[in-house]
Amino acid sequence: MESGYKTGKVLISAREIQNRVDALADKIASGTRGRELLVVGILNGAVIFLSDLVRRMPLELDVKIDFMSISSYGNAVKSSGVVRILKDIGSDIAGKDVLIVEDIIDTGLTLSYLLNILNARRPASLRTCVLLDKSEKREIPVTIDYCGFSIPDVFVVGYGLDCGGSLRHLSDIHALDAIDAIDG
Ligand code: IMP
């Protein structure tokens, strides 16, 4: 049975992604001063990126993993910037080195909200790692410490990114033509 999606052209291939993830893991590891790093993935989109990223980190770094899940109020096209925590991390981050891992930044509302919440808990350091940066629609400036790729303002799916919950499992990142996404 077909999913009804035509995924459009490949914007970033699986090979390009893996090469970039290697480089990001190296940079993150060498930029971490402490011996321990808490990597916080934002569900659900960052799961695949995070799982590849942490497996490239060296044994010497004590990597711990946790997840947050948030819901953003707004419509499918535009986030309202009002965010609710659906699942919080399970440990106290005071005094810890923390890395937020997110799939994509668009307006910046989601990430800036998360940074505010986590900064208030007084970590030793709080850095951000984002696979894709769609900077054209940025409304709030956010410091991205580690960025995978800058992309134009197109809707993308695959490698964790979804359209209505589907297409996260694709190995490449595709630009999705809105018309192609209509059930067929
Ligand atoms: P922001 O709050 O506008 O920066 O939006 C970030 C969130 O919007 C991401 O975590 C994604 O869930 C979603 N998003 C933005 N652009 C895309 C896209 O092209 N494909 C899939 N999800 C997207």
**pLDDT confidence of residue 179:** 46
- Residue 139 pLDDT > 90: yes
Average pLDDT over residues 80-99: 89
C-alpha triplet 61, 56, 117: angle, nearest 5°: 65
Residues within a 6 A CB radius of ligand 1: 45, 79, 102-111, 155-156, 161
* pTM confidence score: 0.92
- Domains, the chain, in order of start with CATH, read 13-153 (3.40.50.2020)
Cα–Cα distance between 49 and 159 in angstroms, integer?
A: 7
Average pLDDT over residues 101-128: 96
φ/ψ region of 93 (left if φ > 0, alpha if ψ in -120 to 50, else beta) reads alpha
Most distant CA pair in the chain, distance: 52
Ligand 1 geometric centre to CA of 105 (Å): 6
Put the strands of the sheet holding 125-133 in their side by side order.
Answer: 79-87, 62-74, 36-43, 97-105, 125-133, 146-150
Cα–Cα distance between 103 and 89 in angstroms, integer?
A: 18
Ligand 1 geometric centre to CA of 108 (Å): 9
